[in-house]
């Protein structure tokens, strides 16, 4: 496509991630959006184990069993003249590393909060990452169909805990069984909850007075008057809507609704698409800024997923396109090795359903079939000029287990599974320095469970995991290493790149080591 077409296409893109605490309703709201995008015919309930109608974004077997998302998935649809890319992130905190990386690949974030529980620890953690990136954050207060906390308290808590201005875009009229509707401050209308017929769903409001003109049965309802008083209070004491602040991630527009009953979601989606930014520029390692409308193709791998299709043992590298146009069969350079690769097979995502993609532009996410060329954080580019994006965050693991194959005869599938699954980046692989025994490190226990489950079901390899407890991982310069430094309190291992590190059993062991070898420099990841 020519430059003008390319620019137009890029401007249509909206790429965002949904973050929340487990169980706040993230997958349900994703489903409802896909429903509006005409991608699915009915929204499956995540919890409905018996119906067999699972959320389309939770495609992995273990997710279906537990009703939680453990991997980030990507969905794409068209709505309101925009091409929307949603990245659903794992809600479970043990998988926060996957989520952090995903947040590097989006231009905005949607935060889903359970209005009965308010801000939970995991939300706070993820929010910090979004805030660091300075991207716009939109908030959806979910589960209005249940009795929850007072809306004013929720906004106050959000401001206090997350250190961001909150500006209410609409206001609930009642909650739980007494929910009447939403007073839409931004669009000057009332959206009724369960109207008798659909064309009565919206009641226009007078823009000057903020009230319903003429006679209307709702005016007789005490909840109507109460809402008017609360909205007036908000106008006087609350924050003023400011687009610049939203764009800088300093203010979050707050929407109320119920994803389960699909109330307020469409209003939220339309409003979000009108305010969310088109694909932004990216910073490179050399400090240069790469604009999204550059004509040469570039992108980076933010996630690798093995066995999306267990029948074919495939690996997919998820690439965020940062500039130019992706075309099927194009040749790109892998910045880390300088090797040229031909991208024949790429896929677009509609969760479990995938379609071959022939072209994609900045802002889109494509999946590349990978035979082992890619690592997380890799940059790819076409053109003469080398493009290397900033490094993605990596976290130092805190929990460690020794892993061995239960059946000695199945060593081949054991080694294959170990190598392929660790490339996804949820667990990190180490080998003991002298004997090459496998040790896995992770941020949380659930990662080990998922790993064990997938080894069994995807590679037919039963593994024994022996916990060696919480350890502190510290890397050491190979030139400074003497294997004799290792003891029972500091296990010497090497990482997947062959770099040596010690796993200290506690802080005392680390301090003792530092006292004994004062000249040795120890390093950690993030």
| DSSP code per residue over 204-233 | E--TTT-S--S--GGGGSHHHHHHHHHHHH
Q: Considering the domain boundaries, does residue 133 fall inside one? A: yes
For CA atoms 34, 56, 142, 139, the dihedral sign is negative
Q: Considering the domain boundaries, does residue 439 fall inside one? A: yes
Its domain, for residue 152, covers 3-176+240-275
pLDDT reported for residue 436: 84
In whole angstroms, give the CA distance from residue 68 to residue 23.
8
pLDDT reported for residue 314: 63
Q: Considering the domain boundaries, does residue 214 fall inside one? A: no
| DSSP code per residue over 150-186 | -HHHHHHHHHHHH--EEEESEEEES-GGG--EEEETT
Q: Are residues 420 and 488 in the same domain?
A: yes
In whole angstroms, give the CA distance from residue 396 to residue 18.
24
pLDDT reported for residue 308: 53
Using an 8 Å Cβ cutoff, are 176 and 145 in contact?
Answer: yes
pLDDT reported for residue 51: 34
Q: Considering the domain boundaries, does residue 455 fall inside one? A: yes
Residue length of the chain: 526
Using an 8 Å Cβ cutoff, are 283 and 289 in contact?
Answer: yes
Quick one: which of 49, 60, 120, 65 has its CA closest to 91? Answer: 120
In whole angstroms, give the CA distance from residue 302 to residue 378.
8
The total number of structural domains in the chain stands at 3
Q: Are residues 421 and 367 in the same domain?
A: no
pLDDT reported for residue 231: 93
In whole angstroms, give the CA distance from residue 81 to residue 500.
52
Number of H-type helices and E-type strands within the chain = 12, 31
Q: Considering the domain boundaries, does residue 189 fall inside one? A: no
| Secondary structure letter of residue 386 according to DSSP | -
In whole angstroms, give the CA distance from residue 257 to residue 222.
21
Q: Are residues 515 and 406 in the same domain?
A: yes
- Please provide the distance, in angstroms rounded to a whole number, between the alpha carbons at the two ends of the chain: 41
Per-residue pLDDT of the chain (526 residues; tens, 9 = 90+): 788 888 888 899 999 988 887 778 887 888 888 888 776 554 443 333 333 333 444 444 544 454 433 344 778 888 889 988 888 776 545 445 677 788 888 999 999 999 999 888 777 877 887 888 888 999 999 999 999 899 999 999 999 988 899 999 999 999 899 999 999 999 999 999 988 887 889 999 999 899 999 888 888 889 999 999 999 999 888 899 999 999 999 999 999 999 999 899 999 999 999 999 999 888 888 888 888 988 899 999 888 776 555 555 567 788 899 999 988 888 999 998 899 998 877 665 544 444 556 678 999 888 888 777 888 888 999 988 888 888 876 667 778 899 988 887 788 888 888 887 777 666 788 999 888 889 988 876 767 877 888 788 878 889 899 988 888 889 999 999 998 898 888 999 998 888 999 999 888 999 999 999 999 998 886 5
Q: Structure tokens of 380? A: 């790819």
Q: Are residues 464 and 490 in the same domain?
A: yes
Quick one: which of 411, 327, 331 has its CA closest to 366? Answer: 327
CATH, residue 138: 3.40.50.300
Q: Considering the domain boundaries, does residue 56 fall inside one? A: yes
What values do phi and psi take at 85, rounded to 5?
-110, 115
The DSSP element (H or E) to which 476 belongs, if any, is strand 472-476
Using an 8 Å Cβ cutoff, are 403 and 396 in contact?
Answer: no
Q: Are residues 429 and 348 in the same domain?
A: no
Q: Considering the domain boundaries, does residue 205 fall inside one? A: no
Q: Which residue in the block uniquely carries the two structure tokens 């974004």?
A: 57
Quick one: which of 84, 114, 96, 118 has its CA closest to 24? Answer: 114
pLDDT reported for residue 310: 54
pLDDT reported for residue 358: 63
List the alpha helices (DSSP H) in 21-150: 26-36, 61-66, 96-103, 121-133
Q: Are residues 436 and 514 in the same domain?
A: yes
pLDDT reported for residue 452: 85
**Which of 354, 381, 408 is the C-terminal boundary of a domain?**
381
**Which of 352, 381, 410 is the C-terminal boundary of a domain?**
381
What values do phi and psi take at 246, rounded to 5?
-65, -45
Residue 463: strand pairing partners: 405
Using an 8 Å Cβ cutoff, are 281 and 385 in contact?
Answer: no
Q: Are residues 258 and 370 in the same domain?
A: no
In whole angstroms, give the CA distance from residue 160 to residue 181.
27
Q: Are residues 322 and 354 in the same domain?
A: yes
Q: Are residues 132 and 91 in the same domain?
A: yes
Q: Are residues 16 and 162 in the same domain?
A: yes
Residue 365: strand pairing partners: 320
199 contact partners, CB below 8 Å, separation of at least 6: none
Q: Are residues 348 and 411 in the same domain?
A: no
Single pTM value for the model = 0.76
The DSSP element (H or E) to which 332 belongs, if any, is strand 330-334
Q: Considering the domain boundaries, does residue 226 fall inside one? A: no
Q: Structure tokens of 445? A: 């226990």
Q: Where does 352-462 show beta strands of DSSP type E?
A: 353-356, 359-361, 365-369, 379-381, 399-405, 428-432, 438-442
**Which of 275, 293, 326 is the C-terminal boundary of a domain?**
275
Q: Structure tokens of 45? A: 């309930």
CATH, residue 478: 3.30.70.3280
Q: Are residues 104 and 142 in the same domain?
A: yes
| DSSP code per residue over 493-512 | EE-TTS-EEEEESSHHHHHH
In whole angstroms, give the CA distance from residue 380 to residue 391.
13
| Secondary structure letter of residue 94 according to DSSP | G
In whole angstroms, give the CA distance from residue 207 to residue 367.
47
pLDDT reported for residue 148: 87
pLDDT reported for residue 61: 52
């Amino acid at each position: 496509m020519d430059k003008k077409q390319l620019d137009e296409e890029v401007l249509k893109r909206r790429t965002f991630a949904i973050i929340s605490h487990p169980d706040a309703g993230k997958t349900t709201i994703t489903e409802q959006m896909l429903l509006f995008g005409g991608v699915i015919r009915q929204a499956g309930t995540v919890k409905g184990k018996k119906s067999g109608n699972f959320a389309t974004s939770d495609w992995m077997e273990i997710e279906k069993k537990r009703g939680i998302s453990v991997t980030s998935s990507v969905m794409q649809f068209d709505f309101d003249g925009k091409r929307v890319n949603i990245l659903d992130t794992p809600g479970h905190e043990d998988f926060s590393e996957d989520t952090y990386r995903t947040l590097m690949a989006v231009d905005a974030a949607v935060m889903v909060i359970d209005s009965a529980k308010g801000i939970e620890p995991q939300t706070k953690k993820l929010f910090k990452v979004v805030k660091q990136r300075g991207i716009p954050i939109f908030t959806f207060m979910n589960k209005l169909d249940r009795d929850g906390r007072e809306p004013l308290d929720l906004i106050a808590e959000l401001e206090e805990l997350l250190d961001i201005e909150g500006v209410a875009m609409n206001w609930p009229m009642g909650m739980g069984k007494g929910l009447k509707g939403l007073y839409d401050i931004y669009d000057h209308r009332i959206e009724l909850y369960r109207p008798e017929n659909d064309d009565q769903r919206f009641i226009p409001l007078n823009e000057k007075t903020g009230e319903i003109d003429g006679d209307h049965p709702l005016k007789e309802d005490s909840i109507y008057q109460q809402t008017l008083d609360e909205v007036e209070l908000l106008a006087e004491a609350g924050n003023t809507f400011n687009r610049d602040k939203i764009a800088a991630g300093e203010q979050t527009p707050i929407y109320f609704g119920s994803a389960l009953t699909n109330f307020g979601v469409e209003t939220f989606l339309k409003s979000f698409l009108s305010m969310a930014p088109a694909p932004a520029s990216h910073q490179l390692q050399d400090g240069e800024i790469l604009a999204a409308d550059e004509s040469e193709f570039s992108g980076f791998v933010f996630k690798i997923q093995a066995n999306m299709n267990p029948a074919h043992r495939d690996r997919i590298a998820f690439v965020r396109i940062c500039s130019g146009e992706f075309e099927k069969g194009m040749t790109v350079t892998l910045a880390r090795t300088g090797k040229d690769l031909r991208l024949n097979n790429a896929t677009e995502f509609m969760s479990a359903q995938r379609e071959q993609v022939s072209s994609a532009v900045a802002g889109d996410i494509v999946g590349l079939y990978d035979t082992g060329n890619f690592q997380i954080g890799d940059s790819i580019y076409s053109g003469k000029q080398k493009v290397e994006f900033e490094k993605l965050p990596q976290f130092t693991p805190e929990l460690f287990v020794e892993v061995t194959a239960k059946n000695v005869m199945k060593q081949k599938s054991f080694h294959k599974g170990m190598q392929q699954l660790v490339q996804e980046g949820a667990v990190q692989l180490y080998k003991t320095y002298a004997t090459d025994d496998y040790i896995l490190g992770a941020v949380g226990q659930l990662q080990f469970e998922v790993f064990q489950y997938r080894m069994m079901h995807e590679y037919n390899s039963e593994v024994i995991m022996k916990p060696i407890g919480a350890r502190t991982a510290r890397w050491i310069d190979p030139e400074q290493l003497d294997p004799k430094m290792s003891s029972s309190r500091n296990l010497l291992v090497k990482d997947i790149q062959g770099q040596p590190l010690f796993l200290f059993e506690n802080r005392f062991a680390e301090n003792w080591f530092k006292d004994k070898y004062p000249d040795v420099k120890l390093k950690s990841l993030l």
